[in-house]
Structure 1
């Protein structure tokens, strides 16, 4: 059984990439911290441990300490205290709930919650890589699938997929939701996974749009605004139609839960603690352009700002391209377009285009197109070499408490 499992290209490629990068990052974290030791004391601006223990000794310091960074500490604090701190309340509950549940089996300590988060993310990542290879093989052709995995796994911010962040879990459920609907017409399961994705990250609700479009195209009179007279509204069709809206229901559940806890509205929390307000899409592109050349406030002249700006344009171009490349499968383009619109809505004078390079991991159509273009050797090297160098640089920065995304 294990032999037949290993013989599947998706499993084989995914497992090799996962193990190699997992081992590499463990060693690379040690090298980065030896080259630039992290101070032991807390700094609420540069090293905000959020009143949680610093893990820098022994096995815990080696395996867990390098991942004890930024958003991770919000998730572990939620796992330990719930939404006792308003600034934590922008993070939906599913991921910290899994940390709490698994960590509770080992004493509910900070170490246990952190280890649980790493375990969940790494298992989800392995599943994501296997599924991405299968999707790529079907959509692009088997010859492009290994390259798709390499570009995705070595994207400059892909080390976050190993971290106790929501990235891997969210992307696994999102890709599975889209694939079950687009490929197999399993809207019920696609909706359930979309609901869980929305309970993992706020952007999960955008799945409603591509799922609804595909349902309309598939079941409402071959893409026309009428019900197929042969099938009609059977109970199963009604269940499928209802399932399409489950991702939006997931967001609604989170908002109702926050209201029940008496927490401030999300917009207020984002404005007070995260320096973001809802604005006109694209405003941050102009602010980022100013900051790149030394004007404005906040992220002035930062290299990460330049990279986020480049990534934003890459996402814009590839999202538009996806509509033309897969006209018979517009769901992929709709997904990317809705995701990009939602990401461009927040506006911040202090930190424009915040974390765009990390959020880019969710743009599967971008990686599909890169995998196709990379069939040309020159383009392959143009994609792979800079990506690998930035992967090394950004991951090292993360391990020493340098802001990346």
Structure 2
């Protein structure tokens, strides 16, 4: 099975890299200035877009701007480390890390899904992950694949009773993205099943859980004067805390009232709102199929956190939701279960998802916003 996963990841990435190369050659770009296109290699350039420039800039210069605190340090730190070790550019280093993490994440997803849904559904869960419309971000200079690999490692270690390791992976996930601390639900759930809430020496390993996030908060406090600099930095993108239903209501209003089907803002809102509704619908199906409780809690918490930080005045109130749901691994297990059990659903997904991913990749690679 490991060989098949490797082959699926490899050939899917080859296809995406070639498609992105063709997109650059044939389609008009949104930005053509050298400041937006810092590398000449046509296989690397399409993947260095939007947030990728922030991560590589932090890798090169540290937290050079108050806005940079919005981006957590593990991924840029790894980029800087690999760049120092190997004779490759920061941009190539970023892609090497992302794609290595994707291979790891695909293998971990299969192992974790196999215990809950069986080998056939697990196999198709990997396919659903790779075919998902925004799955090309797993190969770009973004944190999605690293975050996914670390959270999957935390859940798998917790399932196998290795609570210290699970807490360690959670700590690393929480310095990749703020939502990483949510993986603590797997560790705490495993501890409760083993010991209820009675003291046991394994509790010492749980001290790793807040270590990563606490270290980052402390670094912000010392450097920026507040431990909440990463929250304040989100204001640069218009994000603000709100009730979880505020974003969907604003997105629906954007689509139905203030927008029109031909306006980019309305299209983006439809994509992001559709992603949120699909995640919610699949979550309900996961409840009906009795997915592990920790999975459901983690999945719901991820979506609620993303819904609770809308961009009230932006083109899409649920900005980037189609990308943010990419790290909710139980969603792909549910899709794998549906594909394994219902041929009609599988055919629909296999035909529609790659088409959407190719379209979204063309938008992304040519410097137009998608997520």
TM-score scaled by length of structure 1 = 0.84
Relative contact order, CA 8 A, sep 6+: which one is greater?
2
Distance 1:121 1:396 in 2: 19
Asked if 2 retains the 8 angstrom alpha-carbon contact of 1:86 and 1:263, the reply is no
Q: Secondary structure at the match of 2:142?
A: coil
Shift in alpha-carbon separation, 1:347–1:40, aligned structure 2, 3 A:
closer
Residue 241 of structure 1, CA deviation: 4.2
The aligned residue for residue 323 of structure 2 is 358
Q: Secondary structure at the match of 2:120?
A: coil
Whether 2:34 is the aligned partner of 1:14: answer no
The aligned residue for residue 365 of structure 2 is 399
Whether 2:242 is the aligned partner of 1:283: answer no
User: Higher helix proportion, which one?
Assistant: 2
Aligned equivalent of 2:207, options 233, 236, 242? 242
**Deviation digits for residues 63-82 of structure 1, max 9, x if unmatched?**
21111200110001001110
Distance 1:199 1:139 in 2: 28
Aligned equivalent of 2:39, options 52, 55, 68? 55
**Deviation digits for residues 324-350 of structure 1, max 9, x if unmatched?**
4226x2111111111112111112211
The aligned residue for residue 196 of structure 1 is 172
**Deviation digits for residues 277-328 of structure 1, max 9, x if unmatched?**
111112010000011125179x86432321211110111122233234226x
Q: Secondary structure at the match of 1:143?
A: helix
The aligned residue for residue 230 of structure 2 is 266
**Deviation digits for residues 30-52 of structure 1, max 9, x if unmatched?**
2112221437743xxxxxx7x47
Q: Which has the larger radius of gyration?
A: 1
Shift in alpha-carbon separation, 1:296–1:396, aligned structure 2, 3 A:
closer
The aligned residue for residue 305 of structure 2 is 342
**Deviation digits for residues 343-362 of structure 1, max 9, x if unmatched?**
11112211311111111111
Runs (5+) with no aligned partner, structure 2:
none
1:159-308 paired onto structure 2 within 5 Å = 159-182=136-159, 184-220=160-196, 227=198, 233-235=199-201, 237-243=202-208, 246=209, 248-262=210-224, 265-271=229-235, 273-295=236-258, 301-308=265-272
Distance 1:71 1:210 in 2: 29
Distance 2:124 2:30 in 1: 39
Q: Which runs of 4+ in 1 moved over 6 A?
A: none
Q: Secondary structure at the match of 2:258?
A: coil
Distance 2:14 2:274 in 1: 30
Asked if 2 retains the 8 angstrom alpha-carbon contact of 1:311 and 1:357, the reply is yes
Shift in alpha-carbon separation, 1:142–1:77, aligned structure 2, 3 A:
same
TM-score scaled by length of structure 2 = 0.92
**Deviation digits for residues 174-224 of structure 1, max 9, x if unmatched?**
001011102x1111000000000001111101112332233213321xxxx
Asked if 2 retains the 8 angstrom alpha-carbon contact of 1:13 and 1:146, the reply is no
Residue 240 of structure 1, CA deviation: 4.0
CA-based RMSD of the aligned residues comes to 2.1
